[in-house]
Every structure is written in C-alpha cells, then in structure tokens.
Amino acid sequence: MNLDKMIEVGQLFEQYKDLLTEKQREIVSLYYEEDYSLGEISENLNVSRQGVYDTLKRSEKTMKEYEQKLHLVSKLQKQEETINLIKDRIVDIRCTLSERKECMDLIPELEKIEEICRGIIE
C-alpha cells in the first residue's frame, strides 16, 4: 500500500473514527491499522471483497468531507508545529541552573496540549 495514503487515512481515522459506523470503523482499522489485505478482511468478516473495497472507499470519502468542514487534521498539525517551536525556544532560554528547571518543566505541560487534542487525555 502507498505509504502517503496510509498516513493520510490514519490521520483522518484518528480524528473522525467516531463519526463512522461500527462496520466502517472495523474495516478501516483492519485495513489501515492492522495491515490486513482486502481478501483477508473479506474472509474474516464474511463480506465480499468488493463490499470491503466499497466500505473503505465510502469511509475515506466521509472522513475527507468532514475534514473539509472541520479541518481537525490540519489544525492538529499546526498546533504540533507551534508546540514544537515553543519547546525549541524554551530549551534555548539561557537561565541559571535553578530557573532552568522551571523552564524545562514547561515542556511536559506543552505536550499535554497535544495529547488533549489527540484524545489521549480525556
């Protein structure tokens, strides 16, 4: 499978999986996360190969339509860029040793912001 495509669908799935039906979620997860082939999914779920293919295509279309409206994938990317920039600047601040710790302690806090967006912190 094309790696770019895999990453793209993976990012969409991370943001929008809860807007898919249970069946769509299962098939997208098996194909893109677990790396099952169309044939293997077809056999395991007792759905035709064409049915698996159609479900994948429909799920991708649905998630892309949501992304066009909500931009959650691109917002997360921009937040991550900004967070990484701030982290770099924190590391560069030349404080004395004791204040340095106070600065460095901000980094895990910054990482929390990203985790909230990813749904890791609920």
Where do contacts with a copy of itself occur on this chain (CB under 8 A)? 15, 18-19, 66, 69-72, 75, 78-79, 82-83, 85-86, 89-90, 92-96, 99, 102-103, 105-106, 109-110, 112-113, 116-117, 119, 121-122
- Tell me whether residue 47 or residue 90 sits nearer to a copy of itself (CB atom): 90
Residues of 90-112 as b/e, b for ≥16 C-beta within 10 angstroms? beeeeeeeeeeeeeeeeeeeeee
Q: Which CB atom, from 54 or from 105, has the smaller least distance to a copy of itself? A: 105
Nearer to a copy of itself, 40 or 87 (CB): 87
**44: amino acid identity, one letter:** N
- Name the nearest CA neighbour of 87 among 112, 68, 62: 112
